[in-house]
Amino acid sequence: MVSNWIDLTEPVHVLRRLRREPPLRRKLAARLHLRPLSRVEAVWSQEQNPPIYWWDIPAVQSRWNKIISGDPTKNHYEYVAEKYLKGTGRLHGLSLGCGEGTKEVRWAETRVFTTIDAYDLSERRIQEARAAIQGSGYADVIRYHTGDAMRLSLDPGTCDVVLFEHSLHHMSPLEPFLIRVRELLKPGGLLIANEFVGPTRRQWTDRQIEVINGLLDVFPLRYKTTWGSRFARLPARRPSKLAMWLSDPSEAVQSSDILPLLRRHFDVVETRGYGGAILHLLFAGISHHFVDPDETARRLLDISFQVEDLLLECGSVQHDFALVVCRKAPH
């Protein structure tokens, strides 16, 4: 292993995953022949995934809400809108890396934006987003565009709010990009990022891997089989940087730099870390067992939440996800 760029044991791990997860075989075969930017577009143009990620678990969503807003029923859209945006006038928002566009709808539902221009690299997702809002009442508020956020030519000083919903960790080189984003904002404008801010290229810490695999060991088999299979998911491991680049060259490309660079180029008004150092990877691939949990699944969720809370409290792990509200700093 050379700075974890190449892990000679990884082919064995990949072959085991391919054997256990047929959908992964199709995705990998479709991507490997593409150039880096095309691989990124292919990743974000794929079909909707089954509910196998931690964000698909209602109890996890309620946990985020409680940590961020203090109320398990109030999400970060409502929290930010009420605290920072209501009563500030007719706001123009810019969302970069909007994906399928559902998060822009949630922002539009807060009624604080007159317009939101949303951009994504995937033409397919943009077309789906446009179709989804027809007749919804938001077609005049949200304007979807196909475009690479890193290369957009937009007029400076024209945006009240720039939104990132789990897209900023795909941007690189990050510092010049954030400088450009700052230029797009009006004086006093806000950058709002709901983001993965954990280890760059998902180079999980030894402590994270140790705790996650320890918890998996106590999960009964029926709660850790992968979607559509009878096999248990494999233990957590640190992916090689080469594997990350081959899968999606943009994934977590500079994620650990996000918070330091936001502090450097903006006035950070508020940061709300909401965990994920354990839960994100622990429930990867098996979250479908916890979407509508039985009593045992509820107990496993509670135990997992308590473990992450304890590790965060004692500083053994750091928040891998955070809501960050930044203001354009005066020159």
Give the list of residues 6+ apart from residue 231 with CB closer than 8 angstroms, or none.
20, 225
Per-residue pLDDT of 142-171, as tens digits, reads 999 999 999 999 999 999 999 999 999 999
pLDDT at 56 over 60: yes
Structural domains in the chain? 10-328 (3.40.50.150)
64 and 280 Cβ atoms separated by less than 8 Å: no
Mean pLDDT of 120-144: 94
More confident call, 43 vs 265: 265
Q: Give CA–CA dist 258/80, Å, rounded.
A: 20
The encoded tokens of residue 152 equal 């957009």
- Range in 46-55, 85-94, 193-202 with the lowest mean pLDDT: 46-55
Per-residue pLDDT of 31-53, as tens digits, reads 555 565 554 555 545 555 799 99
Binned at pLDDT 50, 70 and 90, residue 330 comes out as confident
The confidence score (pLDDT) of residue 4 equals 76
Q: Give CA–CA dist 303/297, Å, rounded.
A: 10
More confident call, 1 vs 197: 197
Q: What are phi and psi of 39, to 5 degrees?
A: -65, -40
Mean pLDDT of 48-76: 95
The confidence score (pLDDT) of residue 49 equals 76
The confidence score (pLDDT) of residue 8 equals 60
The confidence score (pLDDT) of residue 246 equals 86
Ramachandran assignment for 252, one of left (phi > 0), alpha (psi -120 to 50 degrees), beta (any other): left
Binned at pLDDT 50, 70 and 90, residue 1 comes out as very low
H/E element, 93? strand 91-96
Binned at pLDDT 50, 70 and 90, residue 84 comes out as very high
The confidence score (pLDDT) of residue 39 equals 46
Mean pLDDT of 71-76: 98
pLDDT at 177 over 90: yes
Q: Give CA–CA dist 51/37, Å, rounded.
A: 27
Mean pLDDT of 18-31: 58
More confident call, 126 vs 18: 126
The confidence score (pLDDT) of residue 34 equals 57
Per-residue pLDDT of 309-320, as tens digits, reads 999 999 999 999
When the pLDDT of each residue in the chain is averaged and rounded to a whole number, the result is: 91
Residue in the block written with tokens 């577009």: 41
The confidence score (pLDDT) of residue 133 equals 95
Q: What is the model's pTM?
A: 0.88
The confidence score (pLDDT) of residue 331 equals 67
Length of the chain: 331
The confidence score (pLDDT) of residue 9 equals 66
User: 257-262: which pairs have CB atoms within 8 A and are 24 or more residues apart?
Assistant: 257/174, 257/175, 257/200, 258/168, 258/169, 258/174, 258/193, 258/195, 258/197, 258/324, 259/197, 259/322, 259/324, 261/174, 261/175, 261/178, 262/178, 262/191, 262/193, 262/324, 262/326
Per-residue pLDDT of 266-281, as tens digits, reads 999 999 999 999 999 9
pLDDT at 64 over 70: yes
Give me the amino acid identity at 212: I
pLDDT at 82 over 90: yes
Mean pLDDT of 78-102: 95
The confidence score (pLDDT) of residue 44 equals 45
